[in-house]
Structure 1
Amino acid sequence: MTRPRPGSLLLYAPVALYQQDGTFWVEAQAVNGLRLWAEHFDEVVVMMPLAPGPAPAGWLSASEQATALARVRIEPLPMSYRPGVFLRRLPETRRRIAALITQAQYLSFAIGGLFGDWGAVAALTAHRMGRPFAVWTDRVESQVVRVVSTQVPWKTRLRARLTHRPMAWLERAVIRRATLGLFHGRETYDHYAPYSRNPHLVHNIHIGPDDHIPADRLAAKLAAVRSGAPLRLLYVGRAEAMKGPLDWLAVLAALRDRGVDFTADWLGEGEMLAEMRGRIVALGLQDRVQTPGFVADRARVMEAYCAAHLFLFCHLTPESPRCLIEALTAGTALLGYEGGYARDLIWSHSGGLLVPPRDIDALAERAAGLAADRERLADLLARAALDGAPFTDEAVFRHRSDLIKTHLAG
């Protein structure tokens, strides 16, 4: 009988993996996460879905990241999001997962989805094998599918209506069987905690201690705000329905109509980016709003965070996006739709303002009020930096690692 290797951790990460030139290509933040896991475990084995085609921008060659991935082994699983493909590949892939489970001391699986959700398969397999495991998730995937289904073409809408209830059942079935529930952000935690025997609120970010805005840079930023510089708005994330990009543009149009001097940037690709660009032209905002798409240069993204005054977000679904924490660490105040996650992040120092979901006029009023009251705006930015201060990638990965070692030790 195979014995688990002491100090070994088996993960499932639903981040697309690519293979070319004889090596795997891994998304940059996933590389950082694996490096941090490996600091707390003797060996890390990560299962990831292997996607066809060349790696997109932002993915790194594993062979060139040998130092960061020194104690990490990547196990590719088939990408199988179509029902027929998933069912054909399920028996063989489940056997592979079971073999990996027998070799690891600690087990932690990210879940989210239905067909092709190898994290859920791994969790149920571990349960049948009598192995304790942790489940991790950063959003309520079934609710995301349900809400977004109202804004997509009819074929996608029909598929979403057929799958979101079975998806919710699968989420709850896995969480009930997990020894440990790791739920990223208050919104996700509040939804799933009732189904978990041992729920914990955790975070997942990739901001190092040196990535926080320096004190002198924050002081210069506050001085520029007080001098009356144009309001700078930012969003970083995918241009998809769940992020509310059309609400975001409606807020900007309302600000323009109120005579507010501002610029705004949306950094990120997505299926709605072309529609956003068309709407920008239709609203006459092209001289104020930039949509450069995906920005691979991490330094450029962090500079955008530091330069912004308000991180304007219009999320329509329950999730815990890292971008809100990243904004706070840059001394950029949150301004967006109310939700448990955002509210929890600014609970200590009130580094942001929240309004009821879909209340575009209220968002515009808050932004216009801050643009007119520069002392209040500067104070809000200073509070945002205080709210962001405790968050570092080292701290959040240490927290999760300690929970896994404590609760899965048996």
Structure 2
Amino acid sequence: MLKTDSKASLFNDLAISPLDLPPSGYNDVENRERGRDGENRKSGSLFLVLPLPIYNVEGRFFIESQACNGLRLWLENFDFVTLCNPMVCVSEAPNNTLPVKEMLGFENLKLAPLPASWGLAQFVKRLPLAIKQLSSLIAEHQHLCFAIGGLWGDWAAVAGLLANRKERKAAIWTDRVESQIKLQEARNSNGLRFLYRHVIAELLKRLERAVISRSAMGLFHGMDTYQAYSQFSPSPHLVHNVHLGPDSRIRWETLGRKMRQINKPILKIAYCGRVHQEKGVFEWIETLKILLSRGIQIDANWFGEGPELEVARSIVLAAGLEKKVKFKGHLAGRQILLRQIQSADIFMFCHKSAESPRCLIEALLSGTPIVGFGSAYSRDLIKNRGGGLMTPMDPVMLADAIEDLYRNQAKLKRMTHMAALDGYRLIDESVFKHRSDLIKSLQSL
């Protein structure tokens, strides 16, 4: 680890105040092995119900890789964890999943999946069995946390209502305002599809409020989610959901080099996420077109797959921008993706829905300013240091903001430094311990 005076020497030519140097231990990845406080923080059993599927491949269970990391962190905070997910039987494990037993073992972890029931008929048919299983598990565990996120087949919502009926204190956790997203989908539809989706959105809104209001605590990831739900919860808390550890922070020496290289003539822009209308993919392309029309040289890359991937590529190709704007598709390996984000000058986003995307946190940890359509969530992430810039949902105004940074490189350098400091606290161990401590505190309420 660098001494303070050597850290400061990296930034003498950038007029960085000593007050803006990183916290002690900025690059100390050994914190992961030692534990944040050097103490054994495990206590009690946790019953966790999540909406994401668990895949059954001939008796072997696979789960999404970030969820596997989440389980590891829950197990660091609780003596025993029982996980209940909707189960899907498949012949081959999907990409980006890991075998649960091989990764975590079953000594302190139990899987208690329920059948995936995302249709009304399936849900009604399987509900009695689900109620029996969930009731038994609620009674067996000291701590309860249920992550809601749907309508039919949302076993977490069912568990929340059951816990209330049994007078058990449970925490409800969510990272997006699902009913608002469904309502936006309805507004983008016509005819009977509009009517159907509008009804689903209304039913979902009522279910969300019923579960949250009947649960002892609300854990809401991101300010958008917190503002939407906090009024309905008896004990609301703003939390974050991150799956990157201390070793994912940009190293201080690397940050210094990155800031010195900002004076290059080409502005490197990155984004990672699903290629989807709710992510603002077409507004993202439009903003880049405006920047290019103003003579700004760019190298823009979108990493990720999604339903609009080929449409986006065809729009770029038709405009003759394929050498400057690239949709790279899926990029294998988390560290490879983080290096791409870290190498960018700006992380540009055009999100249109009320959710709390983790990619913005990944950008801040990478020392890359987040610049895009502002929301309560994104503004809250940079409220301490100002490691980004928010605009209304208007490609012209977003292009104006980026052009200002392009032509004012001292401002961009300063914002790059602030981005790394804004992201400093947002690592997996810290945020999972925060949530775990809140869940445990329910026992004293």
Shorter-chain TM range is over 0.9
- Deviation of residue 158 (structure 1)? 3.7
SS at match of 1:286: coil
2:434 to 378, 399, 405: 399
Distance 1:77 1:98 in 2: 13
Corresponding residue for 1:74? 111
Residue 378 (1) aligns with residue 405 (2): no
**Aligned runs of 1:50-199 on 2, under 5 Å?**
50-53=87-90, 54-66=92-104, 70-151=107-188, 156-199=193-236
* CA displacement, residues 93-144 of structure 1 (integer Å, 9 cap, x when unaligned): 1211111111111000001211111110110111111111000001110001
TM-score where L is the length of structure 2: 0.87
The letter of the residue matching 2:197 is A
The letter of the residue matching 1:18 is Y
Distance 1:248 1:281 in 2: 15
Corresponding residue for 1:270? 306
The 10-residue stretch of structure 1 (11-20 or 341-350) with the greater mean CA deviation from structure 2:
11-20
What percentage of aligned pairs have identical amino acids? 41
Residues 94, 294 of structure 1: alpha-carbon distance in 2 compared, 3 angstrom cutoff: farther
Asked which structure has the greater CA Rg, the reply is: 2
- Deviation of residue 235 (structure 1)? 1.2
Distance 2:357 2:169 in 1: 28
Corresponding residue for 1:32? 69
- Deviation of residue 70 (structure 1)? 4.7
In structure 1, runs of 5+ residues without a counterpart are 1-5
User: RMSD of aligned C-alpha atoms?
Assistant: 1.6
The letter of the residue matching 1:135 is I
2:378 to 335, 338, 342: 342
Distance 1:36 1:155 in 2: 44
Residue 255 (1) aligns with residue 291 (2): yes
In structure 2, runs of 5+ residues without a counterpart are 1-42
**Contact 1:133–1:408 (CA under 8 A) maintained in structure 2:** no
Distance 2:375 2:58 in 1: 44
Tell me how many residue pairs correspond in the alignment.
Answer: 402
Corresponding residue for 2:26? none
Corresponding residue for 1:388? 423
Corresponding residue for 1:44? 81
**Contact 1:225–1:378 (CA under 8 A) maintained in structure 2:** yes
The 10-residue stretch of structure 1 (108-117 or 18-27) with the greater mean CA deviation from structure 2:
18-27
Distance 1:215 1:24 in 2: 40
* CA displacement, residues 225-284 of structure 1 (integer Å, 9 cap, x when unaligned): 03x241111111111221111111111111111111111111112122122122221222
**Contact 2:72–2:104 (CA under 8 A) maintained in structure 1:** no
- Deviation of residue 51 (structure 1)? 2.2
**Contact 2:348–2:372 (CA under 8 A) maintained in structure 1:** yes
SS at match of 1:26: strand
Corresponding residue for 2:244? 207
- Deviation of residue 206 (structure 1)? 0.7
**Contact 1:183–1:201 (CA under 8 A) maintained in structure 2:** yes
SS at match of 2:85: strand
The letter of the residue matching 1:62 is V
TM-score where L is the length of structure 1: 0.94
Corresponding residue for 1:3? none
SS at match of 1:39: helix
- Deviation of residue 381 (structure 1)? 0.7
Corresponding residue for 2:35? none
**Contact 2:54–2:113 (CA under 8 A) maintained in structure 1:** yes
